[in-house]
Amino acid sequence: MRLSNRWVALRIRRYWPGRNPLRRRSDRLEAAGVAVALILLLFSVWPALAMGQLAYENGLQAERAGPGIRQQVTATLVRDAPDTVGVVGNDNGVAPESRAAAGWVAPSGEQRTGQVNVPAGTKAGASLKVWIDGRGKLTRPPTTHTDTLAGAVTTTLLVIAGAAATLMLGFRSFRWLLDRGRYAAWDASWAEACERWRRLS
């Protein structure tokens, strides 16, 4: 903790504007670059919140269930589920699953069929619950509100992290250019000093 506090203090002292006569023009430009990067990072919070809000609204849509949107109906297997062929095994002690054809009635009254996941070896005529959309096609179950909140928060943080990474890369490139100028000025100063010493010797 002390090391991190010392690092922060040193950075603040380095970039804080002052009247130190030893500060070069490149040092002031670097400090200005830090200030601009921090301001842009603060401004990135608004787009991040907007993206998080959009993800939240999409999540609310995915939570919706009911007639014409998403509902659970009873389907009936029309063929036996394979015992081994196409079986998805696992090592968690859970019965393996396979895919088999099942039929259900759409909201319009039309008979529909599709491939569903069932325990391996399930016989034709067995009933199971499936989720369908407003057109009667198989769809995913509605998400939970916890998933919606997690998705919104994750989206917000990812946008901020992306902005921070971009600004960091831009600042490092800017400081690299400043360092090139510093090294060139340092070499020129040394060359001038060497020339003066040669004349005096």
Please give the residue that has the higher pLDDT: either 164 or 195: 164
Q: Which long-range contacts (CB under 8 A, 24 or more apart) does 107-110 make?
A: 107/67, 107/68, 107/71, 107/132, 107/134, 107/136, 108/136, 110/136
The pLDDT, as a whole number, for residue 174 is 86
Tell me if residue 114 falls in helix, strand or coil.
Answer: strand
The pLDDT, as a whole number, for residue 65 is 82
pTM value?
0.64
Q: What is the pLDDT of residues 30-64, one digit of tens each?
A: 778 888 888 999 999 999 999 999 999 999 988 88
Please, are residues 78 and 113 in contact by the beta-carbon 8 Å criterion?
yes
Band (86; pLDDT cuts 50, 70, 90): very low
Domain spans of the chain, in order of start: 2-16+24-60+146-200, 65-141
Fold of the domain built from segment(s) 65-141: OB fold (Dihydrolipoamide Acetyltransferase, E2P) (2.40.50)
